[in-house]
Amino acid sequence: MTTAILSALPDEQSTLVAHLVHPQRLMHAGRAFWRGELAGRAVVLALSGIGKVAAATTATALIERFGVARVVFTGVAGGVGDGVNVGDVVVAQDYLQHDMDASPLFPRWEVPGYARSRLVCDAPLSALLLGAASACVSSASGQFDLNNLVPGGTRGAAHRAHHGLIASGDRFVSAADEAHRLRTTLRDAGHDVLAVEMEGAAVAQVCHDYGIPFAAVRTISDRADDTAHVDFPRFVQTVASRYAEHMVLAFLQKL
């Protein structure tokens, strides 16, 4: 049983490639895929690309070409929920596309043909990922002084692992009023979003179509506000790949 580890960031992928036993690089659909073993498990590592279409293509290739049995996604996200701070992690319980709107033909956010707006992640895989994420954030709280790294960092505060709804859309959210509007509009419709990113819901949909278990974890790199474009690259360079490395290895050991 091969596990796909889908990374959003090149730094995350290269950190994992460095740990691969029997690494083999293959090109397919203009993307590099790495086959090998991590923590004694057969894996394929891939980069999602940015945005929903690129991520859907990568997920489809992982399933069709590499025959993976499960897909696990790591990356970063903007925190929009109360108390979802830079340096926290969010394990997805389910996914929604915040830019899906085929109204009035279908209710807003509903994915046409699926009779629902939210796609649920695999519960057992998500539970394993949440365990790995919780262990990682508690040890990371002592390791990184996030206040020195990003303005949104919280000095001395314990970082948290959250579990809940993540929203994806083809848009980097980098304005406080936009983040607020996005969150409150969804919340008023019963969707309490913790974080926003640009790929996960697409991968969830592909995995749903193929009946492949899917789980995702996102480290919060910014608050999707007016400083998000500054916080994001700094965080990615310093913290995100280290988080991903720890979480993926701990997850695979428990699989």
Catalytically active residues are 12, 222
Give the strand pairing for 21-28 and 31-38.
antiparallel
CB nearer ligand ADE, residue 70 or residue 183 = 183
CB nearer ligand ADE, residue 161 or residue 196 = 196
Q: Which two tokens stand for residue 43?
A: 């894996």
Q: Report, in Å, the least distance between residue 69 CB and ligand ADE.
A: 27
Q: How far apart are CA 192 and CA 80, in angstroms?
A: 10
Q: What residue ranges bind ligand ADE (CB under 6 A)?
A: 76-78, 172-174, 196-198, 221-222, 224, 228, 232
Surface-to-core class of residue 155, CB atoms within 10 Å of its CB (0-12 exposed, 13-18 middle, 19+ buried): exposed
Cβ-closest position to ligand ADE = 78
Surface-to-core class of residue 104, CB atoms within 10 Å of its CB (0-12 exposed, 13-18 middle, 19+ buried): exposed
Q: Report, in Å, the least distance between residue 86 CB and ligand ADE.
A: 10
Q: Report, in Å, the least distance between residue 235 CB and ligand ADE.
A: 9
CB nearer ligand ADE, residue 20 or residue 175 = 175
Neighbours of 121 (CB within 10 A): 25
